[in-house]
Amino acid sequence: MEISQQNIDELNAVLTLKLSKEDYFDKYESALKQYRKQVNMPGFRAGHVPLGLVKKQYGKSILADEINKVINESLNNHIVDNKLKVLGNPLPKVTETVEGDWDNPDAFTFEYEIGLSPEVEIKLPKKAMEMAVVDVDDKLIDQQVEDMARRFGKMSTPESSADKDMIMATLVQLDDKDEILEGGIMKDVTISLEFLEDKKTIKDLTGLKSGMTRVVNPHHISRGHDDLGRMLDINHDEVHDLKGNFKLTVNDVKRMTPAEINEELFNKVFGEGNVKTETEFRERIKADLDKMFRNDAERFFKKQLADKLIEDLNPPLPDDFLKRWIAAANEKPLTPEQIEAEYPSYAESLKWQLIQNRVIEENELDVKPEEVVQHVKEMITQQYAQYGMPLDEEQLNTMAANAMTNREESQRVAEMIYENKVVDTLKEKTKIKEKAFSYDDFLKLVQSASN
């Protein structure tokens, strides 16, 4: 086996593999004999088909498989031995004709393209970067207190609906004359009046008792297209094209009476005896909100930092090679137009990964198995805490152990920890200036950055 490398430029190279008959022929004959034991042909007992007949019918495909194994092993060895940093996988040069005779196999020559990773030099911004943080003010705390009081409140069935009640109703689609549309949509739904925005609709739906009806615009009893789609069990396009009214028939009315702000509520939210006064309750809520919004601020800053470094460093990529590799690696055929449309997002993600790899290498960052386990435990704890469901140590250990059996999930968590360590390392070396925003303004900032 001879393998040589010709660098086209800093990001692209061609590997030429020259196989002699000795490189593959013994393996080919062994595979042929093994296949003979398994193949079934009419007129022959299993395992007794003449070797020549097997070779005539299946020889080329078996030969191709064995040569492919030799090629893959040789390519991998060349990449490892020469410490090449490649992007994607080697691609056979489709424009070249393979040198060799498949009918009379002897020497073969193959050519493969490879994409090379660029050298990345980490240069951090000279100017201080702004980090947006949320100012947890009294308004936010009041809102959280109200939400908790409602979450642990009591459900009742009033005689008629008020403007913050939930109406259980049946919706029936009407035609342009407001008569029942034959074959139209009919669905049992729950409508929360407090979340509606159309004031006339809220007024029309208050004071209703079980059995009463109203004609409603479906777009006025939902919170946007996604909400209406889930409500009526239809897709986005169907929601967009939905016109006309629906007949609403009230089946039931439910009212949530918030819990009183007292020690009973404190115990339900934070556990028995941990909080005893409303002042302590609000302080604990503020601390939890500070922590939650700090995590949100960290995530947003991580994206800002990544975007900034991608823009400033802009590692070059073998774009043409990567587009061909994406097309070849995808299970479903992709049109050139699809690849062009999706490639910018892929390239940006790859550039960030290259930057991360360089930071990991320069700073010798590592993720230990016990760190992955601890991170999984924290994720599970946070998830259950959202529903006021604390876990004891035995439950937590069992759930974490079950999660760790999923190799893909473990790998995903390890990558998250690596990324966090990369960002923490970069933050230590970057000038950062915090700026406080109201919660609403922080949301607007995040949303504008996503557009």
Question: How is domain 154-257 classified at the CATH fold level?
Answer: Chitinase A; domain 3 (3.10.50)
pTM greater than 0.75 (yes/no): no
Residues 6+ apart with CB under 8 A from 291: none
Judged against a pLDDT cut of 80, whether residue 372 lies above it is answered with yes
Q: Which tens digits make up the pLDDT trace of 221-269?
A: 998 888 899 999 999 889 988 999 999 999 999 999 999 999 999 999 9
What does the pLDDT read at residue 102? 82
Sorted by where each begins, the domain ranges of the chain are 2-116, 154-257, 278-450
What does the pLDDT read at residue 382? 78
pLDDT band for position 90 (cuts 50, 70, 90): very high
Structural class in CATH, domain 278-450: mainly alpha
What average pLDDT does this structure show over 95-124? 86
Judged against a pLDDT cut of 90, whether residue 399 lies above it is answered with no
pLDDT band for position 211 (cuts 50, 70, 90): very high
Given the candidates 3.40.50.460, 3.30.70.1050, 1.10.3720.10, 3.20.20.450, the CATH classification of the domain at 2-116 is: 3.30.70.1050
The answer to whether domain 154-257 and domain 278-450 are alike in fold is no
Q: Which tens digits make up the pLDDT trace of 22-73?
A: 998 999 889 988 888 888 788 787 777 888 888 888 888 999 999 999 999 9
The residue among 322, 329, 425, 417 whose CA lies nearest residue 379 is 417
Mean confidence (pLDDT) of the chain: 91
What does the pLDDT read at residue 391? 76
Q: What angle do CA 3, 6, 12 make, to 5 degrees?
A: 120
Residue 192's H or E segment, with its range, is: strand 186-192
What does the pLDDT read at residue 95? 63
Q: Which tens digits make up the pLDDT trace of 155-180?
A: 999 999 999 999 999 999 999 999 99
What does the pLDDT read at residue 96? 57
Dist CA 195 CA 71 (whole Å): 63
User: Where do we find the tokens 């599970």?
Assistant: 380
